[in-house]
Amino acid sequence: MNGSRTASLTVAWRFASLRVEGFPWIPALILGVIALLAVFADVVAPYNPEVGVLGDRFRPPAWQAGGSEAHLLGTDHVGRDVLSRLIFGARVSMVVGFTAVIVAGLLGTTLGILSGYLGGWVDQVIMRVTDTWLALPALTFAIFLAAVVGPSMWNIVIILAAVYWTRYARVIRGEVLSLRERDFVRLAIVAGCSKKTIMRRHILPNVLNSAIVLGTLMLGVVIVTEAALSFLGVGVPPPKPAWGLMLADGKKGLMAGYWWLTVLPGVCIMLMVLSANLLGDWLRVKLDPQLRQL
Amino acid sequence: MKRFIVKRLGYSLLSLLLLTLIIFLLVRLTGDPSVLLVEPGASKEDLVAIRAQLGLDRPLWVQYGQFMSSLLRGDFGHSFYYRTPVFELYLSRLPYSLALALAAMAFSLLVGIPSGILAAVYVNRWWDSAGKIFALLGLSLPSFWVGLVMILFFSVYLGWLPSSGSGTALHIVMPAFALGWYFAAAHMRLTRSSMLEVLGSEYVKLARLKGLPEKFVIAKHAFKNALIPVLTLAGINLVIMVNVAVVVETVFAWPGVGRLLFEGISFRDFPVVQATVLIGGTMIVIVNFFVDILYAVIDPRIRYER
């Protein structure tokens, strides 16, 4: 318990001491707006995202000929309101993205610390598994897992975490290897701290920065992978509104030139991923000088 | 050097062994494997019979032995949908994947290398900023969305390019662009950093001190050496392209390995999905092995590491 409190205090202190200079305001704002929309989707969205009116199929956005104020961003192939689906889609992307990144981070960081600090056969086993895992093409592996466990929103979270934990394990292990040789760790050993205590109270707080930076950068990767899985039909199952799923549905109107069904969900994915990447880049420079080269 | 190769070879073989073990166990530990391995729509009695036939009632290690012995004979099982050996199916699709990967690679290098060099030569100036934006966009835009928007623009509105399928040279343009897009950004970033490193080196300084014109220094002295890591990465990426093209191939109905994987998911054709993952992973393990050896040949220090 003590360890995690030290850890969370360290994080809070580091964030408080960040200088605002160079802060990527626009990306942060975009992510903030998407997060708010996701939280208040029930209030903000004008229609039920999963129910359409078949008589209102393929209505263009309001500003185009044939569009109306009733559906600002038009409707899809079964007459569902695109704006409402985009807003609820933000919820899916946010929930899947953040939980997957956090679960993968917890798993990868724990294994990375164990591997780096304990060394020996533990290190050998974890690193060989990590190497093999990295040899599997991420998307193909995720598709395989989805085929094995079946599609559902929470299965996607588990799949993404299972695919991406290795990225954390690699980086964190490298950091622990150098931390292990530092004086404060040696002194802790001399003072008679147990291995468990050292890993929790001395190593963990020092690798948290890297884990947070990696997590922010992974957010974009995870969201794109989720969209790809949903697009292929092994991600979030319909009729739930996920952006990747909307793109798959949008293909039905693509050749007829119903551009809004293809362009709009993609713009949402792009905005979210770009923002996460820009924020991650900034955090990397601020929090972790060692990672600047990445 | 011999010891290094033997050690790396051992690691690679271990990786391949773990790869098969992971795939094997995931199928069996996450549920009833007969649901996946037996054709959809089989009756209860059929299931029991086939379970016995496939040996699913035997201990795990016996099953793994069987699994491995058939893999080593190139037997990846039969496709439920096509009713042919999966391996033959895979081989029949591979040429399409390779053609697409080569075209995408050509595009990514043609864009990535010149823009990377410009960014390095004019570091922190206009070209560099433009390059940074390009790299950011390249790494952030999902390839399948780029593909869809291209279809909308070039096929639907302009009617210049065919929206899907294969056959003529025109068919490969859009898939190659969509697939190569991300890699162009990656190659640009590496070219830039590699170029910057070389431009700061002693021999480039010497070449400048000799009074060679800057153009000559960049073209003759810096460019050649900066290209080595880029071409190595390109070699690895070619293999990766074959394996990540699933979404792009699906968007454009390109009949490659990725499309095969997608059909495998859609038709619940599990042997196809399993084989695609296994073969893809094996390819990458093999490429990583050769890259490790290549690096050790170029840089002897690596051989003595650990």
Q: Find the mean pLDDT for residues B115-131.
A: 85
**Of all helices (H) and strands (E), which one includes residue B231?**
helix B223-244
CA-nearest of A231, A227, A224, A232 to A274 is A224
Which token pair is B59?
Answer: 């201990």
**Residue A11 maps to a domain:** no
Distance set, CA B65 to CA A234, B47, B72, B144, B271 (Å): 30, 22, 11, 39, 18
- Facing B142 at nearest CB: one of A132, A149, A227: A227
**Residue A236 maps to a domain:** yes
CA-nearest of B92, B100, B80, B84 to B263 is B80
pLDDT digits (tens, 9 = 90+) for B189-228: 889 888 888 888 888 888 888 888 888 788 777 887 788 8
Q: Would you say residue B105 has pLDDT above 90?
A: yes
Which token pair is A158?
Answer: 């588990």
Cα-based angle A242, A101, A116 (whole degrees, multiple of 5): 160
Q: Find the mean pLDDT for residues A67-89.
A: 83
pTM of the model: 0.84
**B244 contact residues in A (CB cutoff 8 A):** 137-140
> What pLDDT, on the 0 to 100 scale, is given for residue B108?
92
**Residue A12 maps to a domain:** no
Q: Where are the alpha helices (DSSP H) in B56-212?
A: 60-72, 86-121, 126-140, 143-150, 169-199, 202-209
CA atoms of B265 and A228, how far apart (whole Å): 13
Place of tokens 């990527």: A24
Name residue A75's beta-bridge partners: A81
> What pLDDT, on the 0 to 100 scale, is given for residue B302?
63
Name residue B85's beta-bridge partners: B78
Higher pLDDT, B123 or B101: B101
Query: Is B267 exposed, middle or buried, given 0-12, 13-18 or 19+ CB atoms closer than 10 A?
Result: middle
**Residue A129 maps to a domain:** yes
Task: Please answer yes or no on whether A234 and B11 come within 8 Å at the CB atom.
Answer: no
CA-nearest of B282, B235, B233, B234 to B257 is B282
Q: Where are the alpha helices (DSSP H) in B141-216?
A: 143-150, 169-199, 202-209, 214-216
Cα-based angle B139, B145, B150 (whole degrees, multiple of 5): 110
**Residue A15 maps to a domain:** no
Task: Please answer yes or no on whether A136 and B270 come within 8 Å at the CB atom.
Answer: no
Distance set, CA B194 to CA A5, B115, B229 (Å): 43, 13, 7
Q: Where are the alpha helices (DSSP H) in chain A?
A: 2-16, 25-39, 41-44, 82-118, 120-135, 138-149, 153-179, 183-190, 195-197, 204-232, 243-250, 260-287
Which residues are CB-neighbours of B211 under 8 A, at least 6 positions away?
Answer: none
CA atoms of A95 and B226, how far apart (whole Å): 42
Q: Which of B53-62, B155-164, B169-178, B255-264 has the lowest mean pLDDT?
A: B53-62
**Residue A206 maps to a domain:** yes
CA atoms of A91 and A84, how far apart (whole Å): 11
- Facing B26 at nearest CB: one of A128, A148, A270: A148
CA atoms of B293 and B286, how far apart (whole Å): 11
Task: Please answer yes or no on whether B18 and A224 come within 8 Å at the CB atom.
Answer: no
Task: Please answer yes or no on whether A262 and B149 come within 8 Å at the CB atom.
Answer: yes
**B137 contact residues in A (CB cutoff 8 A):** 274
B15–chain A nearest CA distance, Å: 5
pLDDT digits (tens, 9 = 90+) for A218-277: 998 899 999 999 988 888 888 888 898 888 888 888 877 788 888 899 999 999 999 998
Contact A144, B272 (CB under 8 A): no
- State how many domains chain A has: 1
* Most confident by average pLDDT, B97-101, B265-269, B300-304: B97-101
Contact A67, A123 (CB under 8 A): no
Task: Please answer yes or no on whether B246 and A140 come within 8 Å at the CB atom.
Answer: yes
B280–chain A nearest CA distance, Å: 7
The CATH number for A100's domain is 1.10.3720.10
CA atoms of A34 and A30, how far apart (whole Å): 6
Higher pLDDT, B253 or B57: B253
Q: Would you say residue B103 has pLDDT above 50?
A: yes
Provide ipTM, 2 decimals: 0.82
A278–chain B nearest CA distance, Å: 9
A&B contacts, CB < 8 Å: 132
Cα-based angle B87, B246, B172 (whole degrees, multiple of 5): 100
CA atoms of B152 and B150, how far apart (whole Å): 5
pLDDT digits (tens, 9 = 90+) for A209-220: 888 888 988 998
Q: Where are the alpha helices (DSSP H) in A63-119?
A: 82-118
Query: Is B283 exposed, middle or buried, given 0-12, 13-18 or 19+ CB atoms closer than 10 A?
Result: middle
Place of tokens 């960040």: A18
> What pLDDT, on the 0 to 100 scale, is given for residue A1?
42
> What pLDDT, on the 0 to 100 scale, is given for residue A110?
94
CA atoms of A77 and A56, how far apart (whole Å): 9
Where in the sequence is the domain holding A178, given as residue range(s)?
Answer: 23-293
DSSP A49: T
CA-nearest of B6, B3, B236 to B108 is B236
Which residues are CB-neighbours of B176 under 8 A, at least 6 positions away?
Answer: B100, B103, B104, B106, B107
Q: Which of A26-30, A72-76, B111-115 has the lowest mean pLDDT?
A: A72-76
Q: Would you say residue A156 has pLDDT above 50?
A: yes
> What pLDDT, on the 0 to 100 scale, is given for residue A294?
42
Task: Please answer yes or no on whether B261 and A140 come within 8 Å at the CB atom.
Answer: yes
